[in-house]
Amino acid sequence: MPPRPLAQLTLALIKPDLTANRLKANRVLGHIQQNDFTIVERKTLLWSKTDAEAFYGEHRGKFFFERLCGYMTSGHFHALILEKPNAISDWRALIGPTHPPRARIHASDSLRSLYGMTDTRNSFHGSDAVETAKKEIRFFFPEFDFERWEQEQRKGNTLES
């Protein structure tokens, strides 16, 4: 039997507008499971302005920075570590284009099409690359042991082959 594909991790955020509605947030968790993601870790957070500015620091000086930080401090949100082969690209495909009105045209079954409101209140975040995912996961889950997770991946792959 060939070895199974190694899993990949990504950071997923379910943002405050969506988390405020428990029914919708639970539907999103259902979408995650239906699309074969494993939720490795999960936290519910309430950010200060300092927290939001630290995470979105690369956008400082852009026209949307203050609006984005205000949005992300407006209520609780969920941070998740998702796992599956191709987790980064699969999660980004599932959430769809950043701008919900465009998502409704180009990816009508995406989560942003279903739940997003505006370019700022787009309900989701997904890492865009392996290194970005590691950096973002460390930001939200500093206790997460990447080395142990990778060892378990290799060990599980060896057992199945």
Q: Identify whether 159 is part of a domain.
A: no
Per the structure, the complete domain to which residue 24 belongs is given by: 8-154
pLDDT given for residue 158 in this prediction:
58
Whole-number Å distance between alpha carbons of 107 and 115 = 12
pLDDT given for residue 45 in this prediction:
98
Catalytic residue among 31, 59, 99, 125: 125
Q: Identify whether 110 is part of a domain.
A: yes
Is 125 a catalytic site residue? Answer: yes
For the chain (161 residues), the mean pLDDT of every run of 10, in chain order, is 76 96 96 97 97 96 95 97 97 95 93 92 95 97 95 71 49
Q: Flag whether 22 is marked binding.
A: no
What are 141-148's contacts with CB under 8 Å, separation 24+?
A: 141/41, 141/43, 141/79, 141/81, 144/41, 144/81
Whole-number Å distance between alpha carbons of 160 and 60 = 47
Q: Identify whether 1 is part of a domain.
A: no
| Residues in Cβ contact with 71 at an 8 Å cutoff, skipping those fewer than 6 apart | 15, 16, 17, 120, 121
Q: Identify whether 150 is part of a domain.
A: yes
pLDDT given for residue 73 in this prediction:
98
Q: Flag whether 64 is marked binding.
A: yes
CATH number of domain containing 146: 3.30.70.141
Domain count, the chain: 1
Q: Identify whether 113 is part of a domain.
A: yes
Q: Identify whether 143 is part of a domain.
A: yes
pLDDT given for residue 119 in this prediction:
85
Q: Identify whether 2 is part of a domain.
A: no
Q: Provide the 10 A C-beta neighbour count for residue 3.
A: 12
Q: Flag whether 38 is marked binding.
A: no
Per the CB < 8 A criterion, the answer to whether 53 and 47 are in contact is no
Q: Identify whether 160 is part of a domain.
A: no
Per the CB < 8 A criterion, the answer to whether 123 and 111 are in contact is yes
The pTM of this model reads 0.91
